[in-house]
Amino acid sequence: MLMRSFLIPTIVLSLILVSSNFAAEQDGADFDYNERGPEHWSQLDAKYKLCKDGERQSPINFITSIDLAIKLPNVNFIKQNTPNVKFPTISMKKEGHATKFLPQQLIGSSFDSVRYIFNQVHFHTPSEHRFDGIHTDLEAHFVFEDSVTKKYSVIGVLYEVDCAVGSSSFFDSIIKLYNQDPNAKDNVPVDINSEVFSHIKEVYKYFGSLTTPNCTEDVTWWVVNKPLLISTSQLVKLRKHIGFNSRPTQPRNGRKVPPVENK
Protein backbone atom coordinates (compact mmCIF):
# COMPACT_ATOMS: atom_id res chain seq x y z
CA MET A 1 0.00 0.00 0.00
CA LEU A 2 1.33 3.40 -0.89
CA MET A 3 0.72 5.91 1.84
CA ARG A 4 2.30 9.08 0.72
CA SER A 5 1.20 12.57 1.56
CA PHE A 6 1.86 15.36 -0.87
CA LEU A 7 2.43 18.89 0.21
CA ILE A 8 0.16 21.37 -1.49
CA PRO A 9 2.34 24.30 -2.43
CA THR A 10 0.63 27.60 -2.89
CA ILE A 11 1.12 29.32 -6.18
CA VAL A 12 1.03 33.01 -5.58
CA LEU A 13 0.66 35.17 -8.61
CA SER A 14 1.54 38.79 -8.31
CA LEU A 15 1.32 41.69 -10.68
CA ILE A 16 4.40 43.40 -11.99
CA LEU A 17 3.93 46.50 -14.07
CA VAL A 18 5.90 45.66 -17.20
CA SER A 19 4.40 45.13 -20.60
CA SER A 20 4.97 41.56 -21.70
CA ASN A 21 6.21 40.33 -25.02
CA PHE A 22 8.32 37.37 -24.19
CA ALA A 23 6.53 34.14 -25.05
CA ALA A 24 9.70 32.21 -25.61
CA GLU A 25 8.50 28.91 -27.02
CA GLN A 26 9.95 29.44 -30.47
CA ASP A 27 13.04 31.30 -31.58
CA GLY A 28 13.92 29.86 -34.98
CA ALA A 29 12.58 28.52 -38.29
CA ASP A 30 8.85 28.36 -39.00
CA PHE A 31 7.25 25.01 -38.32
CA ASP A 32 3.79 23.53 -38.67
CA TYR A 33 1.88 20.25 -38.51
CA ASN A 34 1.98 19.49 -42.25
CA GLU A 35 5.04 19.65 -44.53
CA ARG A 36 7.08 21.21 -41.72
CA GLY A 37 5.49 18.92 -39.19
CA PRO A 38 6.75 17.21 -36.01
CA GLU A 39 8.77 14.50 -37.79
CA HIS A 40 10.76 17.22 -39.61
CA TRP A 41 11.16 19.78 -36.80
CA SER A 42 14.72 18.72 -35.94
CA GLN A 43 15.82 19.29 -39.56
CA LEU A 44 14.32 22.77 -39.84
CA ASP A 45 16.73 24.50 -37.49
CA ALA A 46 19.80 23.44 -35.49
CA LYS A 47 18.07 24.93 -32.44
CA TYR A 48 15.37 22.24 -32.77
CA LYS A 49 17.78 19.34 -32.18
CA LEU A 50 16.09 18.27 -28.95
CA CYS A 51 12.81 17.61 -30.80
CA LYS A 52 14.54 14.44 -32.10
CA ASP A 53 17.38 13.79 -29.65
CA GLY A 54 15.68 14.73 -26.37
CA GLU A 55 15.21 12.03 -23.76
CA ARG A 56 12.41 13.73 -21.82
CA GLN A 57 10.02 14.98 -24.47
CA SER A 58 6.33 15.86 -24.26
CA PRO A 59 3.51 15.09 -24.66
CA ILE A 60 3.23 11.61 -23.17
CA ASN A 61 0.54 8.99 -22.73
CA PHE A 62 -0.68 8.52 -19.16
CA ILE A 63 -1.50 5.03 -17.95
CA THR A 64 -4.37 5.64 -15.57
CA SER A 65 -4.01 2.31 -13.77
CA ILE A 66 -0.35 3.00 -12.91
CA ASP A 67 0.32 6.75 -12.87
CA LEU A 68 -0.51 8.55 -9.64
CA ALA A 69 -2.25 11.91 -9.57
CA ILE A 70 -1.47 14.54 -6.94
CA LYS A 71 -3.31 17.67 -5.89
CA LEU A 72 -2.85 20.74 -8.08
CA PRO A 73 -1.09 23.48 -6.11
CA ASN A 74 -3.37 26.35 -5.16
CA VAL A 75 -3.32 29.14 -7.68
CA ASN A 76 -4.03 32.62 -6.44
CA PHE A 77 -3.78 35.67 -8.62
CA ILE A 78 -2.76 38.59 -6.49
CA LYS A 79 -1.28 41.99 -7.06
CA GLN A 80 2.33 42.48 -6.13
CA ASN A 81 2.76 44.08 -2.70
CA THR A 82 -0.88 43.40 -1.83
CA PRO A 83 -0.78 39.64 -1.22
CA ASN A 84 -4.15 39.60 0.51
CA VAL A 85 -6.00 41.08 -2.43
CA LYS A 86 -7.00 38.44 -4.93
CA PHE A 87 -6.72 39.42 -8.55
CA PRO A 88 -9.81 37.91 -10.16
CA THR A 89 -9.10 38.29 -13.85
CA ILE A 90 -6.05 38.62 -16.06
CA SER A 91 -6.15 41.12 -18.90
CA MET A 92 -4.98 39.31 -22.01
CA LYS A 93 -4.23 40.12 -25.59
CA LYS A 94 -3.64 38.14 -28.76
CA GLU A 95 -0.01 37.71 -29.74
CA GLY A 96 0.81 38.17 -33.43
CA HIS A 97 -1.05 35.63 -35.52
CA ALA A 98 -3.46 34.45 -32.86
CA THR A 99 -1.65 31.38 -31.64
CA LYS A 100 -1.28 32.39 -28.02
CA PHE A 101 -2.55 34.91 -25.54
CA LEU A 102 -0.36 36.93 -23.25
CA PRO A 103 -1.18 38.60 -20.00
CA GLN A 104 -0.80 42.33 -20.34
CA GLN A 105 1.19 42.41 -17.15
CA LEU A 106 3.96 40.14 -15.99
CA ILE A 107 2.39 37.88 -13.41
CA GLY A 108 4.80 36.50 -10.85
CA SER A 109 4.14 33.28 -8.98
CA SER A 110 5.75 30.73 -6.73
CA PHE A 111 5.56 26.95 -7.10
CA ASP A 112 7.41 24.94 -4.49
CA SER A 113 9.27 28.07 -3.36
CA VAL A 114 10.35 28.83 -6.93
CA ARG A 115 9.42 32.18 -8.37
CA TYR A 116 7.66 31.98 -11.75
CA ILE A 117 6.27 34.42 -14.26
CA PHE A 118 2.95 33.63 -15.95
CA ASN A 119 4.05 33.68 -19.57
CA GLN A 120 1.09 32.82 -21.82
CA VAL A 121 -1.80 30.46 -22.57
CA HIS A 122 -2.41 28.63 -25.85
CA PHE A 123 -4.46 25.69 -27.11
CA HIS A 124 -4.11 22.43 -29.02
CA THR A 125 -6.75 20.44 -30.91
CA PRO A 126 -7.02 17.57 -30.33
CA SER A 127 -5.25 17.15 -26.99
CA GLU A 128 -1.53 16.37 -27.02
CA HIS A 129 -1.41 14.31 -23.82
CA ARG A 130 -3.44 11.12 -23.86
CA PHE A 131 -5.10 8.95 -21.26
CA ASP A 132 -4.63 5.22 -21.98
CA GLY A 133 -3.96 6.04 -25.62
CA ILE A 134 -7.03 8.24 -26.08
CA HIS A 135 -6.88 11.92 -27.09
CA THR A 136 -9.49 14.37 -25.84
CA ASP A 137 -10.92 17.22 -27.93
CA LEU A 138 -8.83 20.15 -26.69
CA GLU A 139 -5.88 20.95 -24.44
CA ALA A 140 -4.97 24.29 -22.86
CA HIS A 141 -1.39 25.05 -21.83
CA PHE A 142 -0.81 27.67 -19.14
CA VAL A 143 2.92 28.39 -19.37
CA PHE A 144 4.93 29.65 -16.39
CA GLU A 145 8.62 30.55 -16.49
CA ASP A 146 11.07 30.43 -13.61
CA SER A 147 12.26 34.02 -13.38
CA VAL A 148 15.78 32.96 -12.37
CA THR A 149 16.57 29.67 -14.16
CA LYS A 150 14.17 30.35 -17.09
CA LYS A 151 12.84 26.79 -16.75
CA TYR A 152 9.17 26.25 -17.52
CA SER A 153 6.27 24.85 -15.58
CA VAL A 154 3.12 24.16 -17.60
CA ILE A 155 -0.38 23.43 -16.33
CA GLY A 156 -2.07 21.29 -18.99
CA VAL A 157 -5.87 21.18 -18.99
CA LEU A 158 -7.57 18.64 -21.25
CA TYR A 159 -11.18 19.17 -22.29
CA GLU A 160 -13.76 16.83 -23.73
CA VAL A 161 -16.93 17.90 -25.46
CA ASP A 162 -20.23 17.38 -23.65
CA CYS A 163 -23.47 18.31 -25.35
CA ALA A 164 -25.17 18.79 -21.98
CA VAL A 165 -22.72 21.42 -20.79
CA GLY A 166 -23.30 25.13 -21.32
CA SER A 167 -20.88 27.74 -22.63
CA SER A 168 -18.22 28.89 -20.18
CA SER A 169 -17.21 32.49 -19.75
CA PHE A 170 -13.56 31.39 -19.92
CA PHE A 171 -13.98 30.11 -23.48
CA ASP A 172 -16.17 33.11 -24.35
CA SER A 173 -13.13 35.24 -23.48
CA ILE A 174 -10.76 33.01 -25.44
CA ILE A 175 -13.01 33.04 -28.52
CA LYS A 176 -13.19 36.82 -28.23
CA LEU A 177 -9.38 36.89 -28.19
CA TYR A 178 -9.16 34.68 -31.28
CA ASN A 179 -11.56 37.04 -33.07
CA GLN A 180 -9.65 40.10 -31.94
CA ASP A 181 -8.20 42.37 -34.59
CA PRO A 182 -4.38 42.00 -34.40
CA ASN A 183 -4.10 45.76 -33.96
CA ALA A 184 -6.82 46.00 -31.33
CA LYS A 185 -5.84 47.92 -28.25
CA ASP A 186 -8.48 46.39 -26.00
CA ASN A 187 -7.56 43.76 -23.48
CA VAL A 188 -9.93 40.91 -22.70
CA PRO A 189 -10.35 39.97 -19.04
CA VAL A 190 -9.87 36.22 -18.59
CA ASP A 191 -10.90 34.52 -15.38
CA ILE A 192 -8.46 31.64 -15.25
CA ASN A 193 -8.71 30.88 -11.59
CA SER A 194 -12.38 30.37 -10.88
CA GLU A 195 -13.22 29.21 -14.42
CA VAL A 196 -10.37 26.73 -14.85
CA PHE A 197 -8.00 26.03 -11.99
CA SER A 198 -10.67 25.78 -9.31
CA HIS A 199 -12.28 22.91 -11.27
CA ILE A 200 -9.08 20.88 -11.26
CA LYS A 201 -8.74 18.46 -8.40
CA GLU A 202 -5.75 16.36 -9.30
CA VAL A 203 -2.93 16.41 -11.83
CA TYR A 204 -0.28 14.14 -13.25
CA LYS A 205 3.06 15.76 -12.52
CA TYR A 206 6.08 14.76 -14.62
CA PHE A 207 9.27 16.15 -16.15
CA GLY A 208 9.09 16.75 -19.90
CA SER A 209 9.54 19.39 -22.58
CA LEU A 210 7.77 22.09 -24.52
CA THR A 211 5.68 20.33 -27.19
CA THR A 212 6.70 22.80 -29.90
CA PRO A 213 10.19 23.83 -31.11
CA ASN A 214 12.68 24.35 -29.53
CA CYS A 215 11.29 21.32 -27.58
CA THR A 216 13.18 22.68 -24.54
CA GLU A 217 13.45 20.13 -21.72
CA ASP A 218 13.44 20.62 -17.93
CA VAL A 219 9.76 21.51 -18.10
CA THR A 220 7.65 20.50 -15.11
CA TRP A 221 4.18 19.44 -16.25
CA TRP A 222 1.01 19.46 -14.18
CA VAL A 223 -1.63 17.79 -16.38
CA VAL A 224 -5.21 17.19 -15.24
CA ASN A 225 -5.93 13.50 -14.63
CA LYS A 226 -9.55 13.87 -15.80
CA PRO A 227 -10.69 16.13 -18.62
CA LEU A 228 -12.87 19.15 -17.93
CA LEU A 229 -15.94 19.69 -20.14
CA ILE A 230 -16.50 22.08 -23.04
CA SER A 231 -19.71 22.81 -24.93
CA THR A 232 -20.13 21.65 -28.52
CA SER A 233 -20.56 25.16 -29.92
CA GLN A 234 -17.48 26.53 -28.18
CA LEU A 235 -15.36 23.58 -29.30
CA VAL A 236 -16.51 24.05 -32.91
CA LYS A 237 -15.58 27.75 -32.80
CA LEU A 238 -12.16 27.04 -31.28
CA ARG A 239 -11.39 24.25 -33.76
CA LYS A 240 -12.07 26.67 -36.60
CA HIS A 241 -9.38 29.00 -35.27
CA ILE A 242 -6.84 26.44 -34.12
CA GLY A 243 -6.92 23.63 -36.69
CA PHE A 244 -4.83 20.51 -36.11
CA ASN A 245 -1.77 21.25 -33.93
CA SER A 246 -1.14 18.18 -31.82
CA ARG A 247 2.36 16.68 -31.53
CA PRO A 248 2.41 12.85 -31.33
CA THR A 249 3.06 11.38 -27.89
CA GLN A 250 6.74 10.83 -27.08
CA PRO A 251 8.58 7.88 -25.47
CA ARG A 252 8.40 7.87 -21.67
CA ASN A 253 11.99 6.54 -21.35
CA GLY A 254 11.28 5.29 -17.86
CA ARG A 255 9.83 8.53 -16.54
CA LYS A 256 7.62 8.11 -13.49
CA VAL A 257 4.38 10.01 -12.81
CA PRO A 258 4.78 11.68 -10.39
CA PRO A 259 8.54 11.97 -10.84
CA VAL A 260 11.04 10.71 -8.31
CA GLU A 261 12.23 14.07 -6.99
CA ASN A 262 15.87 14.98 -6.35
CA LYS A 263 17.27 11.95 -8.12
The residues of the shown chain that bind Zn ion, judged by CB under 5 A, are: 141, 211
**Of 130 and 141, which CB lies nearer to Zn ion in the complex structure?**
141
Q: In whole angstroms, how close is the CB of 159 to Zn ion at the nearest point?
A: 14
Q: In whole angstroms, how close is the CB of 208 to Zn ion at the nearest point?
A: 11
Q: Would you tell me the crossing angle of helices 169-178 and 232-242 to the nearest 10 degrees? A: 30
Q: In whole angstroms, how close is the CB of 186 to Zn ion at the nearest point?
A: 25
Q: In whole angstroms, how close is the CB of 124 to Zn ion at the nearest point?
A: 6
**Of 93 and 100, which CB lies nearer to Zn ion in the complex structure?**
100
**Of 78 and 116, which CB lies nearer to Zn ion in the complex structure?**
116
Q: In whole angstroms, how close is the CB of 263 to Zn ion at the nearest point?
A: 27
Helices then strands, counting H and E runs in the chain, come out as 5, 16
- Rounded to whole angstroms, the Cα distance separating 239 from 256 reads 32
The H or E element spanning position 235 is helix 232-242
CB atoms within 10 A of CB 26: 16
**Of 14 and 48, which CB lies nearer to Zn ion in the complex structure?**
48
- Rounded to whole angstroms, the Cα distance separating 247 from 216 reads 14
Q: In whole angstroms, how close is the CB of 122 to Zn ion at the nearest point?
A: 5
- Look at strands 10-16 and 70-71 and give their pairing: unpaired
**Residue (of 204, 167, 248) closest to 71 by Cα position:** 204
**Of 70 and 155, which CB lies nearer to Zn ion in the complex structure?**
155
Is the alpha carbon torsion for 192, 211, 221, 218 positive or negative? negative
- Rounded to whole angstroms, the Cα distance separating 125 from 38 reads 15
**Of 26 and 80, which CB lies nearer to Zn ion in the complex structure?**
26
